[in-house]
Structure 1
């Protein structure tokens, strides 16, 4: 038997040994690895809805705006690129689907890599910055650091640093609590690409997290009334998107390498506990946002391939890292889904080869006057954002 075959058999044997391992986190019971994907069947049947209908905006003018925000009733957009520059774009009076980018950015967040962001009730843009933590871009352009570490009063991980702030949602209550994720206890690296300005590149940290199996992601809450930060749950394999339910009884949390979305309950008999909203997804999970009907739009930036199954074993990860390195940058595709608060898949929109739009990391919904819904899609990796108009009753 060839040495490579022996190595493969050994790896397969060790892989099998690890299938039964379950990790009990210090806070929540977090399964070591999720159940297998159901595949692209049923509600996830392949389609080309995105490829056939998407509009590409600001190509090569906006690079790496993971998130978009819709403002002024759809008349303008807020974007923040990988260089931490904040931009406005404005719709045309003659064609509300045609947006023009402002001549220059209106603010710069400094040494930052902004990911998720949204406006609070006071008009401040609250930003998850992988370099600094949770920051606020004030209406006058000032950048205010809200939190870079967990408070001493937190019952979980007191005084720990916020290493990789990623995505957020803000309560509509008077308190305005900000729920956000700290993806992993690893910082983002600084990228020095030839011919480009330096910027913080989170993808290298994402890949390290997947290969090393670091399940240190956390869900946090920032309380504006006293400026404290508490850890609510931890043990996620790269915690990512965050979205409150319509009644704010739970906050949904995407676990990127777990291919699933959790519900952390804030109210009712389940308060303080966590369960699964949906799992066995066909792609890695990124940002999510609550839709007008109480469902959630979710971005799936990359497909779940055989590589994902190899991540199940720490021994296989080590072998593959040095013998045959995994190419974690998966084949391009574009995919988003809409899921109900009970975990039912309501919509699934694709560009199966990513030939028109790919690596979608965020979906923002805007209702049009004619009854259609316009979805704006950001991308961490692509030099554009995109949008698509859909009928609400389409499946």
Structure 2
């Protein structure tokens, strides 16, 4: 009898904690993304095309390469968890640290002058001079609001404007799940003028805006909204300038970085399949608050899977690749078309990987 009483009190205390414990997360009700696309048919059916991937050489002491950029010599660069910028030879060998941001480098892009532009989650928008490893801070705030989660970036062909995201002005790295649970619209899309040093906000109220990529002729910017989950098109010129519209939705996972092949295809990384829990509780913020109490105190990973999708200029999927086998390169955060291959990066990996484009888009 005494044991039953103790168990009852313990259970009651646990339920009470889940319902009443303090949390800074204030979930907002929203309509939700609709039905998850089928895994057995349609454009997002499982196909095993990412069950194998060729890993690059391991990088001693480094993990979690989030983004990848390529220089004019074909060498590949990625930012790792400890702040290191690592360079690989074109064939994926001889990795070596060439700089360290002192923060958490996420999105990478090369400027036309050969310097490396970095969206650093902890330090803001940076420029790295690779010949000496010098790190210059370009911007850390806009409109008086500091960046909390500088995420990804792109630079225009002339090299003057840098377009980038502050994924959440409320929840900094690495608390992206708390932002997704709250769905409070804390994300912004920004533009930094390298000539004047001015930073302006182009769009706000987004739920974890993540990857960005300029479209053909720089007429628009694609923005992946991880909390959507969907992809937006932000018009930069013409009658629609300043207008944000949905480019692609009903995705099977949460979109991360996006890269344009320069012709007609945007490659979008999907590190995690959509969570049934987040989908089902979109209109029940109190339930998401219960989950948030746990997420603030322990790591609750999203459903990991290898996925990527190619979208055409109209936002329609033209290729999809998925993998979940033991050799699969999981939690893909960026897909970079390079020659005959797609270069993959992953927050859960210890190096980069690649797959032939013909394997993904037969």
TM-score by length of 2: 0.85
Equivalent pairs, count: 334
Contact in 1 for aligned 2:64/2:351 (Cα 8 Å): yes
Give secondary structure in 1 for the equivalent of 2:43. Answer: helix
Equivalent in the alignment of 2:5: none
Equivalent in the alignment of 1:317: 288
The structural deviation recorded for 1:51 is 1.0
Equivalent in the alignment of 2:57: 58
- Is 1:356 aligned to residue 328 of structure 2? yes
Q: Which moved more, 1:276-285 or 1:55-64?
A: 55-64
The structural deviation recorded for 1:57 is 1.6
Distance 1:286 1:394, change over 3 A: closer
- Which consecutive unaligned segments of at least 5 residues does structure 1 have? 12-19, 23-31, 92-97, 151-157, 189-201, 368-372
Q: For residues 265 and 349 of structure 1, what CA distance do their matches in structure 2 show?
A: 29
- Is 1:148 aligned to residue 140 of structure 2? yes
Equivalent in the alignment of 1:128: 119
Give secondary structure in 2 for the equivalent of 1:42. Answer: coil
- Which consecutive unaligned segments of at least 5 residues does structure 2 have? 1-10, 20-27
> Could you list the per-position Cα deviations for residues 279-330 of structure 1 after superposition, in whole angstroms to 9, with x for gaps in the alignment?
0111011000111323200000000131221441312212344589997413
Alignment of 1:1-395 (within 5 A): 33-40=32-39, 41-52=41-52, 54-59=53-58, 61=60, 62-74=62-74, 76-91=75-90, 98-102=91-95, 104-110=96-102, 112-139=103-130, 140-150=132-142, 158-172=143-157, 174=158, 176-186=160-170, 188=172, 202-203=173-174, 205-312=175-282, 313-322=284-293, 328-353=300-325, 355-367=327-339, 373-391=340-358, 394-395=361-362
Q: Which moved more, 1:304-313 or 1:341-350?
A: 304-313
Q: For residues 129 and 379 of structure 1, what CA distance do their matches in structure 2 show?
A: 16
Give secondary structure in 1 for the equivalent of 2:217. Answer: coil
Contact in 2 for aligned 1:90/1:99 (Cα 8 Å): yes
Contact in 1 for aligned 2:345/2:352 (Cα 8 Å): yes
The structural deviation recorded for 1:43 is 1.1
Q: For residues 301 and 391 of structure 1, what CA distance do their matches in structure 2 show?
A: 21
The structural deviation recorded for 1:354 is 6.2
TM-score by length of 1: 0.78
Q: For residues 107 and 29 of structure 2, what CA distance do their matches in structure 1 show?
A: 33
> Could you list the per-position Cα deviations for residues 74-106 of structure 1 after superposition, in whole angstroms to 9, with x for gaps in the alignment?
3x2112211111221114xxxxxx42124x412
The structural deviation recorded for 1:355 is 4.1
Two-structure CA RMSD over aligned residues (Å): 2.6
Give secondary structure in 1 for the equivalent of 2:247. Answer: strand
Q: For residues 29 and 281 of structure 2, what CA distance do their matches in structure 1 show?
A: 14
The structural deviation recorded for 1:185 is 1.1
Distance 1:90 1:35, change over 3 A: same
Q: For residues 196 and 80 of structure 2, what CA distance do their matches in structure 1 show?
A: 31
Contact in 1 for aligned 2:121/2:151 (Cα 8 Å): yes
Q: For residues 341 and 329 of structure 1, what CA distance do their matches in structure 2 show?
A: 32
Contact in 2 for aligned 1:332/1:353 (Cα 8 Å): no
The structural deviation recorded for 1:161 is 1.2
Equivalent in the alignment of 1:94: none
